[in-house]
Amino acid sequence: MQNDVSFAGRHLLLELWEAQGLDQVPLVEKALTDAVKACGATLLDLKLHTFSDTGGISGVAIVAESHISIHTWPEWQYAAIDVFLCGKCDPNDAVPVFKAAFKPGRMQMMESRRGMH
């Protein structure tokens, strides 16, 4: 609940352009892990997949409070990141982690309250 509105969780969509390191598995894994910690979430599992044709990476950190996912297109210097968290975790706490990790030239954020009632 926030401002007398009840909802299941907050879903933050981040788009990073002119980003760096999007084909580096250790960097992507560390960014996801650090984002989980920054948000105060509980990591349950982390999976990454690298695409051999482009070097792009898709990954998800499954957390007790929902998930944080990333999909990268190194050839476009673009990444799409979802931070969907329930409870007291604030998805905005992940933003500085991803900015520091990938150093985007441009970034766009959109937030949605999921399950409003």
71 is catalytic: yes
Predicted model pTM: 0.91
Please pick, among 71, 89, 112, 117, the residue that the annotation labels catalytic. Answer: 71
- Catalytic entry in 11, 39, 66, 89: 66
**Residue (of 110, 91, 95, 94) closest to 9 by Cα position:** 91
> Which pairing describes strands 9-17 and 106-114: parallel, antiparallel, or unpaired?
antiparallel
* Percentage with pLDDT > 90 across the chain: 84
Closest CA to 71 of 49, 87, 88, 89: 49
CA distance 71 to 22: 9
C-beta of residue 97 within 8 angstroms of C-beta of residue 81: no
What domains lie within the chain, and their CATH numbers?
18-112 (3.60.90.10)
pLDDT tier, 5 (very low <50, low <70, confident <90, very high otherwise): low
Mean pLDDT on 16-39? 98
66 part of the active site: yes
Mean pLDDT of 12-39: 98
Residue 36 or residue 117, greater confidence: 36
* Region of poorest pLDDT, from 1-15, 34-48, 101-115: 1-15
**Phi, psi angle pair for 39, to nearest 5°:** -85, -10
Q: 67, 86, 89, 117: which one is catalytic?
A: 86
What pLDDT does residue 117 have? 75
